Amino acid sequence: MPTDCISYQNSGYFSSLMNDYLDQKSNLHSLYHRFPKLENFEDQIIEKQKNYDNHNRSVLVSALQKQYLNIEASVLTK
């Protein structure tokens, strides 16, 4: 590890729960399905595509548009 790099765990800014999550401690595995690391992304994307059809997406889009209705947001955000 480079000497100019401090890990999240050693930074002192994160709770023990977050540090345990980052260390992928087995006692937290029941709280999430797949840890967000590169080799898990493909399976996660496929699972989400199967479980979230266009109807669910349109409900989400509608809810987000309502939330942003009275907020000044950038074009990219909208």
- Within this chain, do residues 25 and 39 fall inside the same structural domain, yes or no? no
pLDDT of residue 45: 94
User: What number is the average pLDDT over the span 28-37?
Assistant: 95
How does pLDDT run across 15-26, given as a tens digit for each residue?
999 999 999 999
Residues 4-37 as b/e (b if ≥16 CB within 10 A, e otherwise) read eeeeeeeeeeeeeeeeebeeeeeeeeeeeeeeee
Q: What's the total number of domains in the chain?
A: 2
- At 38-78, the pLDDT tens digits run 999 999 999 988 888 889 889 999 999 999 999 988 888 87
Question: For position 2, what pLDDT does the model report?
Answer: 60
Angle subtended at Cα 10 by Cα 7 and Cα 11, rounded to the nearest 5 degrees: 85
| Residue 23 structural domain | 1-32
Whether residues 38 and 62 fall in one domain = yes
Q: Based on the domain organization, do 38 and 75 belong to the same domain?
A: yes
Give this prediction's pTM. 0.60
